[in-house]
Amino acid sequence: MNSYPTRWTKQMKVVLDIVYDGKSPITADQVYGLARKQMPRISLGTVYRNLNRLVVSGLISESKVGTVQCFYPHPYSNTHLECRVCGRLYSVPFDLSLHQVAKETGLTLDGYELRLKGVCKECASRCI
Amino acid sequence: MNSYPTRWTKQMKVVLDIVYDGKSPITADQVYGLARKQMPRISLGTVYRNLNRLVVSGLISESKVGTVQCFYPHPYSNTHLECRVCGRLYSVPFDLSLHQVAKETGLTLDGYELRLKGVCKECASRCI
DNA sequence: CATAAAGTAGTAATGATTACTATTATGAAT
DNA sequence: ATTCATAATAGTAATCATTACTACTTTATG
Ligand SMILES: [Mn+2]
Ligand SMILES: [Mn+2]
Ligand SMILES: [Zn+2]
Ligand SMILES: [Zn+2]
């Protein structure tokens, strides 16, 4: 499973377009909801299969948020604060130089995801 | 759920000791297996509850590896390469200065997890 | 000791994701 | 265009890590 796609199907195009049109990360279930408007008989399994194949092919990227997989157009990079108390994720304006990291590690990279671990302000103010 | 612990129970101590004694990340199920040797009637739910409370309290840390939660002694930092083709994680010898990141972002941090996205050497050599 | 509430054991439920199977669509070769 | 092998799909069932539930037990505190 999660193999590289060899045939360009209508279902794959619908899924790709939905992820590309979105402004923010989208879940498989949300893609499914939107896809059914254009293609009412598409199945959830097909949505998952195509999302995973698009990730393998490098056209979109994914990341787990809590228990669910989220999908983004293109390879991307981001930084989050992950609160160990409430578990919430906060976007943090911090950028890493992917070029620098690629040079130092000798790897060819598409993007990164930096998860900073700590306690958010709201939880800290409750001084648990 | 996942509340801050207020009572120090035998079960919590057993769970904490197992995580601290381990050399590498351990799953809830593995902790459960080891805990039953000392405490045969401990339940899996209790293991999960205590692991999550220990995370909230900051004594241990967690990270999702694939579909499963893994637990580590103390807050920690690490860098991985995540292959978009085979999905495997590879440890990468790259260090970020947590002090520097904390200073730049204004956050108080316990650790970080840097996930580099790309294609591993094995998958790249298959030139998919 | 007495009491309140936090924690536990055992079990059932959840829910996102994957697996399965009969059928259909695709693309290359004839 | 027709044939043919096989990749992909629809619909559904299964998986499985994690959480929820409930009656009972343990802990802390006066
Ligand atoms: Mn958590
Ligand atoms: Mn994946
Ligand atoms: Zn928080
Ligand atoms: Zn790989």
Mutate to test the interface with A, among B82, B116, B120, B123 (most CBs of A within 10 A): B116
Residue A107 lies in a domain: yes
Mark out the alpha helices in A1-128 (DSSP H runs).
10-21, 28-38, 44-57, 98-105, 121-125
Please state, rounded to an integer, the average pLDDT across all residues of chain A.
93
Distance CA A85, CA B56 (A): 5
pLDDT of residue A12: 97
Identify the nearest ligand to the CA of A121 by its number.
Answer: 3
Residue B51 CA, ligand 1 centroid: distance in Å = 9
Same domain, yes or no, for A85 and A58?
no
8 Å CB contact of B92 and A110: no
Percent of chain B with pLDDT over 90: 84
pLDDT per position as a tens digit, A32-56: 999 999 999 999 999 999 999 999 9
Residue A120 lies in a domain: yes
Phi, psi of A116 (to 5 degrees): -85, 135
How many other CB atoms are found less than 10 A from the CB of residue B100? 9
- A94: CATH: 3.30.1490.190
Same domain, yes or no, for B53 and B68?
yes
Same domain, yes or no, for B104 and B56?
no
Q: How far is B115 from chain A (nearest CA, A)?
A: 5
Same domain, yes or no, for B52 and B101?
no
Same domain, yes or no, for B32 and B67?
yes
pLDDT of residue A5: 82
Band of residue A77 on the pLDDT scale cut at 50, 70, 90:
very high
pLDDT per position as a tens digit, B23-53: 899 999 999 999 999 999 999 999 999 999 9
Same domain, yes or no, for A49 and A103?
no
Work out whether strand B26-27 and strand A26-27 pair parallel, antiparallel, or are unpaired. unpaired
8 Å CB contact of A118 and B96: no
Tally of structural domains, chain B: 2
Residue A17 CA, ligand 1 centroid: distance in Å = 33
Phi, psi of B102 (to 5 degrees): -60, -40
pLDDT of residue B1: 61
Residues of B in contact with A101 (CB under 8 A): 94, 116
More confident residue, A3 or B61: B61
8 Å CB contact of A117 and B55: no
Mutate to test the interface with A, among B54, B107, B110, B123 (most CBs of A within 10 A): B107
- Domain that includes residue A56, residue range: 10-72
Nucleotides of chain D in contact with protein CB (under 7 A) are 7-13, 17-21, 26-28
- B19: CATH: 1.10.10.10
Band of residue B64 on the pLDDT scale cut at 50, 70, 90:
very high
Return the closest-CA partner of residue A46 out of A72, A22, A94, A14.
A14
Same domain, yes or no, for B40 and B55?
yes
Of A110, A111, A117, the CB nearest to B75: A117
Band of residue B81 on the pLDDT scale cut at 50, 70, 90:
very high
pLDDT of residue B29: 97
Q: Which helix (H) or strand (E) holds B12?
A: helix B10-21
Same domain, yes or no, for B21 and B56?
yes
Distance CA B15, CA B46 (A): 9
Same domain, yes or no, for B20 and B54?
yes
Same domain, yes or no, for A28 and A67?
yes
A126 touches chain B (CB under 8 A): no
Q: Which helix (H) or strand (E) holds B116?
A: strand B109-118
Task: Give me the count of residues in chain B.
Answer: 128
Output the pTM of the full model.
0.92
Residue B5 lies in a domain: no
